Structure 1
Amino acid sequence: MRAPSGAAGRPREVPAVPVPVPPPDAGSALTRRRSVGLIVLVLAVVAALGGSQLVGVGVMGRAAATAVPLPPAVGSCLQIAEDDSATVVSCAEPHAGELAMTWRAGVPPVAAGALVRYPHFSVTRPMSHPDIDTRCIGWAERYTGWDRYIARHDDDLWLAPQPLVAGRMVHAPLDEAVATLGWTGCAVVTGEPTYVGSVRDTAFAPRFGSTAARPDAVSVCLQVTGSGLDFTDCTAAHNTEMIGSVNLTQRMMAGRSVTLDRTADEVAAACRELAVERIGRADPTFGGQVEIVAESVWQRSLQDHKPTSSAWLIPDCLARVVGDGTVRRSLVEWGEQPLPLSPTR
């Protein structure tokens, strides 16, 4: 069948009908955008991790941690400020103490076998902890060699006086701390603000292998007069120094009486032997200027008159200046030098 023709006999034009085109898939576009974003993100991460290799450009510099200074060695001599910060100095110059124990930055000291809360290792905060302070005293005593001295002389009649020392917690100065974090330590101190030399192993006399000067402040001295006595360290004027005391702990631990089972001559001879050893000279009397006596001095400080009962007279071994003279230093390890009498006015 033929299509109808127009008047001129030409085929009649049929109007064009538009063919509907489906709209774009919104989900596919979103997926493509996400894919592109993921690729960009991956490329960014790779560039960050190895950008210099990818783009061929060297990146100068590297990250570096700031080192926190380590604590000084045990035995170091210290100047100690009022805030307990400590600076290492030579032991040949005046100093306030010596390190007996240390801890590095951020490590709290140990007390009673366990870590304790101790704010002291942040050096801008005050430091005090009773457990640590008590243990510091023990570390200070061990630094003087007292525990080793007792173990070696436990069976002796005489024991040397325990060195006069104390313990003090110290810390790094602020200019050695990083973000307020620095080392801490336990220092050995004496009754004097400063001294020269070292208190290490001063329980022994002579000390083994030590060439440092022996501080006078660790020894026990007395000013004895007719009316009484005053205990002092040996840097003050005095006429008597305690060379030894009877080993009461050993005697009581053995269940023995504290009264001596020696004759007076035996006790006096043992006292002189101790004086020869600790003073370091064959004649501990300095040619008669000092008398070495075994006498019950410390008990006189407990009552107004000398005890009359020999049952509890426990003697000390003493080096006493003859006459009215005084000295201002310890005779322990003094050796063959002349007696250091104080100048008289």
Structure 2
Amino acid sequence: MRRRWLGGLVLVIALLAAVTVPVVVQGRRVVGQAQAQRFPDAPAAGTCLLDAGPAGQTRPQSLPLDGLIFGSCDGPIRGQVVGVLDAPQELVGSRRDPCFRAAATAAGLQYVGRRPTLPEAPRTDNVSWAPFLGFTITRIEPGEQARRGGQRWIACLATPHAGGVYTGRLDGVYTAERSLPAAFATCWAAQTGGSAGAVSGVDLDSTATLLPCDAPHGAELLAVARVGDRSLTSREEMRAGCAAMAAAMLRMSDPTAGGQLSVVLDPVSSDGASRPTDPWTLNCFVVATGDRQLTDSVVGWGERPLPLAG
């Protein structure tokens, strides 16, 4: 009987050892409270990207926040945050991307259907005018650890098509608030001359040699018209629409600035149309007359003396 009692005691001691020994083997107790890790907040709308590190040399559709430096837009910048959204996953890179819409709205445009345009833009059931937009969108996302921690925001960064460093702000450029930074404009060599004021080097059907808009150039693209049925609209109506669009975009009562500029309508002739009722696309731009050259974008320039050389 005593042997059974001793055997039972040995079994109990063994079981207690099996329970308590792992606790000892795991090491010392740590006294304290667990704290959640803090991650950087999304960059605020209206701030600008100052430095992107090695990523600044590429044009990705999205960048992680890690390593990016944001700050004031007063000096050289790489892009501007135009909105912060709740992680939309669809339509990345599309003009229906919520980030693209945020940029267009911040710039002062209003949506008519799916197309952002000026409130003053001429419009009929058959013709719609809209500014030619020179920005592209990059999505700034939380870093990998922040995503694992549950962060799901998207910061919308608007940058010029050509990338690089520039000065100026995009917000409000299609209102009276400010003029368009040259980095967001589209310019090329062209000039008018001769007794008839003929324009040379302006056919946008062919590949144009683009120039920086803050360097001497002859022409600047302003707007694009889309015509639903070309048989319902005359060339004269389209010229009048181009002139009205130029006046609204330059914020000038006279878009020729007293003859220093010429407003040019350039129909796209290589669009593959075969029927008189086919759609049509037309470009509207301005050219410095004579031997003059523009040295900045004239979008939003107003009634100030034009930025001319020569």
**TM-score over 0.5 for the pair:** yes
Q: Does the aligned pair in 2 maintain the 1:158–1:244 contact within 8 Å?
A: no
- CA shift, 1:43, in A, is 11
Residue 24 of structure 2 corresponds to none
* Equivalent position to 1:271, from 213, 224, 242: 242
Tell me the TM-score normalised to structure 1 length. Answer: 0.57
- Which ranges of structure 1 fall in alignment gaps of 5 or more residues? 1-23, 45-58, 113-131, 303-308
**How do 1:162-181 residues align onto structure 2 when only pairs under 5 Å count?**
162-170=132-140
- CA shift, 1:194, in A, is 1.7
- CA shift, 1:38, in A, is 7.7
- Which ranges of structure 2 fall in alignment gaps of 5 or more residues? 22-29, 56-62, 192-198, 203-207, 271-275
Q: Which has the higher helix share?
A: 1
* Equivalent position to 1:76, from 28, 47, 55: 47
SS of aligned partner of 2:187: strand
SS of aligned partner of 2:189: strand
Instruction: Give the Cα separation in 2 of the matches to 1:326 and 1:32.
Output: 104
Give deviations 1:180-210, integer Å, cap 9, x for gaps.
Answer: 98887553221141222333465xx227xxx
Give deviations 1:45-95, integer Å, cap 9, x for gaps.
Answer: xxxxxxxxxxxxxx9743323212232234532132223552212122221
Residue 302 of structure 2 corresponds to 335
- CA shift, 1:30, in A, is 4.4
Is 1:187 the counterpart of 2:157 in the alignment? yes
Instruction: Give the Cα separation in 2 of the matches to 1:168 and 1:179.
Output: 18
Q: Does the aligned pair in 2 maintain the 1:163–1:218 contact within 8 Å?
A: yes
Between the aligned residues of both structures, percent identity stands at 22
* Equivalent position to 1:142, from 86, 94, 101: 101
Instruction: Give the Cα separation in 2 of the matches to 1:237 and 1:88.
Output: 31
Instruction: Give the Cα separation in 2 of the matches to 1:163 and 1:320.
Output: 18
Residue 89 of structure 1 corresponds to 71
- CA shift, 1:271, in A, is 3.0
Q: Does the aligned pair in 1 maintain the 2:224–2:284 contact within 8 Å?
A: yes
Query: How many residues end up aligned between the 2 structures?
Result: 260
- CA shift, 1:259, in A, is 4.3
* Equivalent position to 1:326, from 277, 293, 302: 293
The two structures, once aligned, show a CA RMSD in angstroms of: 4.5
Is 1:242 the counterpart of 2:203 in the alignment? no
Give deviations 1:248-299, integer Å, cap 9, x for gaps.
Answer: 2xx1xxxx2x2463462x4444333322221113233323322334x32655
Instruction: Give the Cα separation in 2 of the matches to 1:92 and 1:28.
Output: 87
> CA 1:25/1:195 → structure 2, altered by over 3 Å: closer, same or farther?
same
> CA 1:103/1:41 → structure 2, altered by over 3 Å: closer, same or farther?
farther
Q: Does the aligned pair in 1 maintain the 2:247–2:255 contact within 8 Å?
A: yes
> CA 1:173/1:275 → structure 2, altered by over 3 Å: closer, same or farther?
same
**How do 1:6-17 residues align onto structure 2 when only pairs under 5 Å count?**
none
Tell me the TM-score normalised to structure 2 length. Answer: 0.63
Which protein, 1 or 2, shows the higher relative CO under an 8 Å CA cutoff with sep ≥ 6? 2
Amino acid in structure 2 at the alignment position of 1:261: T
Which structure has the larger Rg over C-alpha atoms? 1
Residue 34 of structure 2 corresponds to 63
Q: Does the aligned pair in 1 maintain the 2:138–2:156 contact within 8 Å?
A: yes
- CA shift, 1:333, in A, is 1.0
Instruction: Give the Cα separation in 1 of the matches to 2:263 and 2:166.
Output: 28
> CA 1:330/1:150 → structure 2, altered by over 3 Å: closer, same or farther?
farther
Q: Does the aligned pair in 1 maintain the 2:226–2:280 contact within 8 Å?
A: no
> CA 1:193/1:137 → structure 2, altered by over 3 Å: closer, same or farther?
farther
Amino acid in structure 1 at the alignment position of 2:304: Q
* Equivalent position to 1:317, from 262, 284, 289: 284
Q: Which has the higher strand share?
A: 2
SS of aligned partner of 1:284: coil
Q: Does the aligned pair in 2 maintain the 1:86–1:172 contact within 8 Å?
A: no
SS of aligned partner of 2:308: coil
